[in-house]
Structure 1
Amino acid sequence: MARFRRVAALTLAFFLVAGGAAIAGSRWGSYEGYSKVQVNANGTTINSAVPAIMMNGATMLPLRETATALNSFIKWDDGNQTANIYRPNVNMVVSQELDVDKKGAVTGVPKPFFKAPSGYNISFFVFVQMDSLKTTVDGFKISVLDPSGNELDKRVSSESIYDYLWSNAAFNIKFSEAGNYTVRFALKVDGEFVTVGEKLIVSE
């Protein structure tokens, strides 16, 4: 894993075609003689030890940090010197009720919601459907975070997953302050949890 981090940090392996030549004296400064550029993903700046730069008319991005910002993850194949990017298709629903059949399989989500009154405890389910995961991971986590990013509760599974997953978890959360609460779905990759899906609950 340490070797991968070094490679990910030192190797800028994401290319985006950019019109025009790199302009000397970028407003963001320079790195190793190349103009630095700022890259935002959904309004959030991507920061890394090695910055994004302009080289020969192309924008080169730090692969690991960019993948993380786009709810994707990297697996490094050291033998083939290859970085593999994986981005599963994830759908999440937050609902106060779930319909289940006699075998316990979820058949419907009759009371989905995305707003919660501040100051109240609310019980709800998080239903996760994932597919198109073309690699094996070592588990997953469903968690709820408060507006400051603190983890309020979580459900963790060590189930090995390949290709697809259907799962649900029950929570009882006190929405003690107004703001955006995050419901997060993460996969365990090389011993670390990486986020591949999020849903917001707005408390007001």
Structure 2
Amino acid sequence: MGKGGGAKSTTLAHLLRYWKKMGIPAVAHDADDSDKKESGSLLAWTEMLPAHGDGLGSPVYRAPAPPSLKTEADRLRPAHGLSVIDTKAWDRSKESLQYAAIRAADLLVLALYPSGMEKFRGASIIGAMDDVETMSGHRPKLVCLLTRFNPTASAADDVRKELMDEELHVLDAAIPASESKTGYAQSFGTTPKLKWESDMHKLAKELLREVAP
């Protein structure tokens, strides 16, 4: 969850491939198509891949209307596997799919670019979690993922410390900006390449630890 352009769909596409290779069954729900007139980022990605291949390694479904999201996410979750939701840019409307995703999730991953504006947006999402807990008694576990930052700059380290000072859990794994021809940002519509002990592989392993009982 987070703003548009925060690499949420790109990250999830790569994670699905890694989890497939690691033997972890998963399904994804694309809630990134606000008007239903075109596929969201993740669905569009799968539609661009060769029909004879295995796509992103896991089924990708169009997310249902908000009231049905939790029911469908639970119904389609594989045995001993994951049911993940890819959301669009943050929308605090209580009827939105983002609110429904908070109600449905056991683990909420907040993707943040390390900036003051992003921290402000993150506070809004945490406020929505408070609303959901008040209404339903349910509060997912929250982890913060730093994305799309300059790996040679100090901003990410500064924001990481500020978030931790606020007692938020920041994942050790992080996804820096990568604009090269073989980088994450250029991988849309292709089969994600796997590289063991890369940033994405480390994230895939760390998230599995976070969801383990």
TM-score range, shorter chain: under 0.3
Higher strand share: 1
Whose radius of gyration is greater, 1 or 2? 1
Q: TM-score, normalised by structure 1?
A: 0.24
Say which structure is richer in helix: 2
Give the TM-score normalised by structure 2: 0.24
